[in-house]
Amino acid sequence: MKRKIENVLNEIRPFLFSHGGDVKFIGYKDHVVTVEMVGACVGCSLSAVTLKGGIEQILMDEFPEVKEVKALENESKG
């Protein structure tokens, strides 16, 4: 499952790269995918929309067993 999720994230990454961001796959457990938003996504006011309306929706459409996508809180500055 991890490899399948990574493959889908790899398809999403060019969009994120075009805005200076990226998403890092952290893990999959109990039907929840955990990611970390990095680069320009950190602190971006639209990162929640990208996460829930984009990444989560794509993964849930691709894998019905995925029930949620959560992002780790990124504490880095700048």
Domain ranges of the chain: 2-71
Question: Helix or strand or coil: residue 37?
Answer: strand
Of residues 70, 71, 61, the one with CA closest to residue 11: 61
pLDDT digits (tens, 9 = 90+) for 8-37: 999 999 999 999 999 999 999 999 999 999
What's the pLDDT score for residue 77? 43
26 sits in which H/E element: strand 21-29
Can you give the pTM of this predicted structure?
Answer: 0.88
CATH code assigned to 2-71: 3.30.300.130
What's the pLDDT score for residue 66? 98
Backbone phi, psi, residue 55, to 5°: -60, -50
Alpha-carbon distance values, 3 to 9, 19, 27, 39, 77 (Å): 10, 25, 11, 23, 30
Q: What is the mean pLDDT of the chain?
A: 92
